[in-house]
Amino acid sequence: MFRAKCVLGIFGTLIVSSVLNADQPLFRHRVINANSTNCACAVLDVNADGQLDIVAGNFWYLAPNWEKHPVREVEQIRGRADDYSNLPLDVNKDGHTDLISCNYRSQSLYWIQNPGPSAPAGQTWVKHEIEKPGPMETGRLADVDGDGRLDVLPNGTQFAAWWDVEPGPVPKWTRFPLPEQLAGHGSGFGDINGDGRNDVIGPKGWAEAPEDRRNGRWVYHPEFDLWKGASIPILVQDVDADGDNDLIWGRGHRFGLYWMEQTKDSEGHRHWIRNAIDTSWSQAHSLLWADLNGDKRPELIAGSRYMGHDGKDPGEYNPLVVSSYQFLPETRTWKRTIISAGQNVGFGLDPKVADLDGDEDLDLICPGRSGLYVLENLLKNPAGRSPDSAKPAITASDYNHADVSTVRDRDGKSRPINTPFDLGLRRQHILDGMSLAMGPVPQSELRVPLEMEVLMEESTDKYLRKRISFASEPGDRVPAWLLIPKDLKAPVAAMLCLHQTTGIGKGEPAGLGGLENLHYAHELAELGFVCLVPDYPSFGDYPYDFKVKGTHYGSGSMKAIWNNMRAIDLLESLDEVDPDRIGCIGHSLGGHNTLFTAAFDSRIRASVTSCGFTAFHHYYEGNLAGWTSDRYMPRIRDEYGNDPSRVPFDFYEVLAAIAPRSIFVNAPISDNNFENSGVRKVVTEVEHTQKIYGEQAGVITARYPECDHDFPDEVRAEAYQWLKEQLQ
């Protein structure tokens, strides 16, 4: 059987695919070096024995048992290995695969010379500097000029260029400039305009390849914005098989995977429609595109990066995950398969996919600061299918839900929470517990294109008010008001505004009826926030029978949470909105749904909850019947007997799951629904939890006004100022 000598780190589809039946594979977790901190790797046959080995950092690892052998001493700069890519290419044309490295901290582009299998054991691979062009996140190989030979395309954050290499004993390197607008975090390569020439993609546009890619002018097109920290690579693929290429990218330092659909209007002008794929995890810095399940259709493969910014990015302390996503043309959604979760396996800066063991399916080689691992595809080895990465199930009795100071490890042993990583694990357990009562959060298969429709538009003094609807899942549309301030000069902060229990639903926060002191969407829009106000299912203009239409949800609460997550998708899709400045506000029903949504959706940076919760034991002296209608959580009645001691979560945990993000609490002293002393206990407990996050800790601002179930003027005004500060 033919075995490749190396696996290329290139843009685009992996050429080798596993041509097998389309069963869904499982993956065996193999530890290559748990102490490795190198974020790049290469796969090549180092010793010419016909088997693919792994090179990462200071060592190469001999297949099939992965014995460690020295390569070189990688320079450490401010605690990071200066080896941000391992791009395999025979640079000096001696028949041995060398490695090319594009680096951030040293700002250097260099290659490492492979001495070959006949070299004395332990001989160092020599480093040859090419140039110091500036900081580079990483790089990939691509045939930029179309001459059939791979070139080096770094992701320069302050420059844009590519390098041609003429291999030989003295290799010749030539730098070719690209439009400076391509510089930034995120890079891709592929044919955007269908002219047969591959273009270069950056975070805010693309450069059109001229016929003469070396000497011609690359024309820059600022057609889209992939936001801060786009992945490397940005994949260029015809996702929906409509004849033009689309874009797939992850947020390398935030939450979310997305795809941008390329469309054209009747006059032939190109437009891009942003669609969310999965926003449940963060740090999707590196993407792969390959056929893991043998159905001849490549999948998107992504994994969370470990500590890319040393805990300063959202979600860095959450458990690592690696997943694949298959596009479903019937619904235009993506089917997610979790490959690894809750272990130390993630994607660093340059992961690889290859048939490492020669069994005709594709394995994943995963380097990162948490170690070097292989996820072995068991598609061809059904007898070996035992998902060794499966985590133990969380049950209602695993925790004292009023105590967020402990966590259970993978062996089920309880220990004190001392680090943010402990809190990240406890957060996952909290969400698991909430899902026992609410049902699981829908997966990406339900994330249909939003297809927002504007049904009516009217102007007020300070903002436009649009009656809209948007698709939340197949066969269901959510009615909403969208309030957009006038005369915006740049994207601004946005608020998801959730209404209380009222027949007019969204109309009250939008200022169209109900209580004036609950017109918070209207007031926030006048202050310059974009506001989206959806109806809760069964309120306002949204008739919904939970026993007929919502049977695939475990609760009405989870249906509302999903709708709210799709509402965040919609806010992100608007040109008027800064996607990194989104908050949520609600009163009563909207108050606890603000918290529920923020717990499950970390894109919400700041939450305001008014009269929205108390500890379950303090809710009507522990009688939880009010939480159990079809609109809310009937499992509390049916499975937990309305007993707060049996319910698998409490609001101590809900607020702790939102940390380290900030929360503003309005809890009136005389609120008859949500007893005040229970709120104070929750706030006190979670304030201690926030402190564990250190400099990244948010704030819990609690106000206890002398009133009943109300959101008084002075507290609202303070909440609005607080939101301005949190979302600045």
Q: What is the CATH number of the domain that holds 638?
A: 3.40.50.1820
How far is residue 352's CA from residue 347's CA, in Å, rounded to a whole number?
Answer: 9
Q: Is residue 701 part of a domain?
A: yes
Q: How far apart are the first and last CA of the chain?
A: 59
Q: Is residue 628 part of a domain?
A: yes
- CA 316 vs CA 42, 424, 697: distances in Å: 25, 8, 13
- Taking each helix axis from N to C end, the angle separating 556-573 and 420-438, rounded to the nearest 10 degrees, works out to 120
Amino acid, res. 31: V
Final residue of a domain: which of 377, 394, 413? 377
Strand partners, 287: 302
Q: Are residues 483 and 365 in the same domain?
A: no
Q: Is residue 453 part of a domain?
A: no
Note the pLDDT of residue 15: 34
Q: Is residue 400 part of a domain?
A: no
Provide the whole-model pTM.
Answer: 0.95
Which residues are CB-neighbours of 245 under 8 A, at least 6 positions away?
Answer: 190, 191, 192, 194, 236, 237, 238, 262
Q: Is residue 401 part of a domain?
A: no
Question: Nearest Cα to 711, choosing from 677, 673, 665?
Answer: 665
3-state DSSP of 81-128: ECCCCCEEECCCCCCCCEEEEECCCCCCEEEEECCCCCCCCCCCCEEE
Q: Are residues 684 and 539 in the same domain?
A: yes
3-state DSSP of 698-713: CCEEEECCCCCCCCCH
Which domain, by its residues, includes 234? 27-377
- Name the DSSP class of 507: G
Strand partners, 235: 248
Note the pLDDT of residue 385: 57
Final residue of a domain: which of 377, 396, 419? 377
Final residue of a domain: which of 377, 403, 430? 377
What total of structural domains would you count in the chain? Answer: 2
Q: Are 60 and 46 in contact (CB under 8 A)?
A: yes
Q: Are residues 490 and 352 in the same domain?
A: no
CB atoms within 10 A of CB 311: 16
Q: Is residue 109 part of a domain?
A: yes
Give pLDDT < 70 ranges for the chain.
Answer: 1-24, 382-393
Q: Are residues 354 and 496 in the same domain?
A: no
Q: What is the CATH number of the domain that holds 237?
A: 2.130.10
Q: Is residue 538 part of a domain?
A: yes
Which residues are CB-neighbours of 653 under 8 A, at least 6 positions away?
Answer: 399, 401, 404, 430, 433, 434
How far is residue 532's CA from residue 518's CA, in Å, rounded to a whole number?
Answer: 15
Q: Are residues 333 and 482 in the same domain?
A: no
CB atoms within 10 A of CB 625: 11
Q: Are residues 715 and 571 in the same domain?
A: yes
Sign of CA dihedral 134, 139, 145, 151: positive
Which residues are CB-neighbours of 378 under 8 A, at least 6 positions away?
Answer: 25, 26, 27, 28, 361, 384, 385
Q: Are residues 585 and 723 in the same domain?
A: yes
Note the pLDDT of residue 386: 55
Q: Are 41 and 345 in contact (CB under 8 A)?
A: no
CB atoms within 10 A of CB 193: 15
| Tens of pLDDT, residues 466-525 | 999 999 999 999 999 999 999 999 999 999 999 999 999 999 999 999 999 999 999 999
What is residue 564's three-state secondary structure? helix
Note the pLDDT of residue 25: 74
CB burial of residue 408 (10 Å; 0-12, 13-18, 19+): middle
Note the pLDDT of residue 338: 96
Q: Is residue 10 part of a domain?
A: no
